[in-house]
Each structure stands twice: as C-alpha cells, then as structure tokens.
Homo-oligomer: A and B are copies of this chain.
Amino acid sequence: MTPAVSYQPDPDADPAGLTYTFGGVEPVASLAPGSALSTWTFDCFGGAVRSASDVVSEVCDPRYLNPQTGPFFVDGAAPGDTLAVHFVSIEPRQAFGISANIPRFGSLVATPTTAMLNAPLDERTWWYELDLDARLVRYAALDSPFTLELPLDPMHGTVGVAPPLGEARSSLTPGSWGGNMDTPEMRAGVTCYLGVNVEGAMFSLGDGHARQGEGETCGVAVETAMDTVVIVDVVKGVYTDWPRVESDTHLISTGSTKPLEDAFRIAHADMTGWVGAELGLSPLDAYQLVTQVVESPVANVVDTVYTMTAKVAKRYLPGVAAYAGIHGRLRAQAAALTSPVEPLGTTERA
C-alpha cells in the first residue's frame, strides 16, 4: 500500500510553504520513499494576475516570480542517489489560464542577457478559459475577433531538487538539478529522474501550464495553478547527471545551458550513454543508433538558459527497464491509489 500524504501551501501562513529557489531553504515537510504526495502549486505569477487588465510588470514583484511548493525532504535520499518523481495527476485548480508578453523576455526579443538597444515590445495579457470537462483551452486574440480551441495538456514547467556545490538557484532557471525546464513532457503519467545532491534531495515543484508549445516561444505558457499528486521514490546508489523523464512510450534526456547546441549536446550525449547501457551497445554503436531514431524537440529557448530534450521511443529499445523498471512499478502504484490522500500534519514539517 502506498502511504499517502497531503501538503497544502498556505500563502497567508508563515511559513507559507513556498520557495523561490532550489537549494538554500529549509524543508516544509518530509516524505517517506514510495509515498504519494497530494499538493497544489501557484501559477508562475504567484496568483497576482487576476484579470486580463492586470499587467505582469505592474502587479508582480520580480523577486517573487515562479513560486515553488516545497521543498520536501525525502527520507533516505542521499548525495549520489536518484530521486524518482512519478506524476500521478496534474489538474488545473481553476477554470482559467494566463499568458502574457513581458518586456525583455522571450525567444524573439532582446533580453537582459541577449542585450540589445532595440525598444521592447508592448506588454499584453491573454486570458484563457479552461474547459476542464471538454479538456480544452480557449485562445482569444486581443486585436481581432479570432478564437481557437486547443487541447488541454497540463504539465509542470518546474520540478527539481537542491543543486550541488552549495548553490541556491532561482526557480526561473533550469539546470542539472531540474528547475525551470519548461518541457511539455512533464505531464501526468511520466516519471522524472533527478540526481540527489544533498541529504533529503529537497524536492520542489511548480509552474503549472494548461498547455505550451515546444520552445515556449514568447516565454509564457498558459499559466495556471495546479492540483497535483506525485509518488516520490529513491533509487539508491545511482546518480543521474541531468534530469531524465520516462513515459510509457519514451525515454527522454534533457540538457539545459546556452548556446542551444550545447543543450542539444548534453541531452544527446546523455541519451547515447543511456541507450548504450540499456542495450549493451558500444559507445559508437549507441551513437549510431541514436542518430537514426532520436526525436529532438526543444523545451525552452526563453529561460536564463535553454533546455533541449532527446527522446527515444521504447519500441526501439527492446527489453528496456530503466532504473530497474521503477517507472512500471510506480505506474502500478499510482493506479492503485484509490482512497483520498490523508493530510500531512504540520508537525510533520521538518
């Protein structure tokens, strides 16, 4: 049986249970390996954008963007292990999502680190209706009457653990510890593998998207608060250099850096090693096979560094059982979660 606990951050309490960094903060609660956690996450604006007439630069404090729920101390997770985070469910907590054009942010504009003299674009806010029954996201243009229904595809833009080397990293940044990777692959049903750098791993998550395109071109997906259930487990004695994701159909490696070809190199070198290990291939044979079968969608080209993914379909990986088959076990465990999760008493907080 899966121990099931609930943790609800409370913005009005102290501590609120929210954090703006990976690393450098005390845990809000501890979890036993193999337990299910039911929680919720704010949207990336911390709930400050309340209508289509709210403008991000006016209603948000730049020091408090992208709040994460956590961190959670996972019992027994130690440096050198891998944390497995299985997403049981990710559901919008509200019937709307928000996107925006934010000055000096996005892939097709000058930014503080791609510094230019051009004037910024106008700031705008798009309000999306979410139809949770029909599983639809409703786009409405601001400057013309055009509207469009898009599939709801909820995911977390940000999930991670404390970084190595004593660093604390802004929740706006992705890296080897996970963080703000903004890949649409982080949806319900997948398992995310993260290398553990500190005792307890210190896992957090946030930045729910009702959907996003690949690359997150303008920098802002359909942002919304999420009710999320995960099962968290520990793979002892195996470290994961860069975040990996496993779905029922694919293995996915990630890499986050600039320039984007270096993010590609990280993800595809990682996948070459992963495929080689799973199939018992020499490095050159693995490199060759990856060349012919990999899919290479961009995750984001908008955050402080960029994220690439390398995906290989399991149909090309006969007998694959990554991390000793933990994804399959967590899938089964998730399916067996039938009773409501029990609230985690505040005394459980570390």
CB distance from A210 to the nearest CB of B (A): 9
CB distance from A198 to the nearest CB of B (A): 11
> Which residues on B sit within 8 Å (CB–CB) of A291?
99, 212-213, 216-221
In angstroms, Cα B150 to Cα A289, docked, is 10
- By the criterion CB–CB under 8 Å, are B260 and A20 in contact? no
Other contacts beyond A148-B289, A218-B288: 13, CB < 8 A: A107-B264, A108-B265, A115-B262, A141-B281, A141-B285, A144-B280, A167-B169, A211-B292, A213-B296, A214-B295, A258-B305, A259-B259, A261-B306
CB distance from A171 to the nearest CB of B (A): 9
Q: Which of A259, A260, A283 has the most CB of B within 10 A?
A: A260
- By the criterion CB–CB under 8 Å, are B148 and A316 in contact? yes
CB distance from A100 to the nearest CB of B (A): 9
Known pairs A21-B166, A221-B291, A294-B215; A262 contacts B114 (CB<8 A): yes
Q: Which of B24, B218, B290 contacts A24 (CB 8 A)?
A: B24
- By the criterion CB–CB under 8 Å, are B214 and A294 in contact? yes
> Which residues on B sit within 8 Å (CB–CB) of A137?
292
Interface check A337, CB cutoff 8 A: no
- By the criterion CB–CB under 8 Å, are B101 and A287 in contact? yes
In angstroms, Cα B121 to Cα A106, docked, is 19
Q: Which of A63, A108, A265, A301 has the most CB of B within 10 A?
A: A108
Q: Which of B115, B216, B218, B293 contacts A108 (CB 8 A)?
A: B115
CB pairs A–B below 8 angstroms (12 shown) = A63-B164, A101-B288, A108-B115, A113-B257, A115-B269, A141-B282, A148-B318, A166-B170, A215-B310, A217-B287, A259-B260, A298-B298
> Which residues on B sit within 8 Å (CB–CB) of A170?
165-167
Known pairs A24-B168, A142-B285, A213-B293; A260 contacts B257 (CB<8 A): no
Interface check A350, CB cutoff 8 A: no
A residues contacting the other copy or chain, number (CB 8 A): 95
Known pairs A108-B268, A142-B285; A166 contacts B316 (CB<8 A): no
- Tell me the A115-163 residues at the B interface (CB within 8 Å): 115-122, 124, 126, 137, 139, 141-144, 146, 148, 150
> Which residues on B sit within 8 Å (CB–CB) of A215?
264, 268, 294, 296, 310
CB distance from A123 to the nearest CB of B (A): 10
Closest 4 CB pairs of A and B: A118-B118, A259-B259, A260-B260, A143-B282
Known pairs A261-B301, A291-B99; A118 contacts B116 (CB<8 A): yes
- By the criterion CB–CB under 8 Å, are B148 and A264 in contact? no
Interface check A200, CB cutoff 8 A: no
CB distance from A49 to the nearest CB of B (A): 15
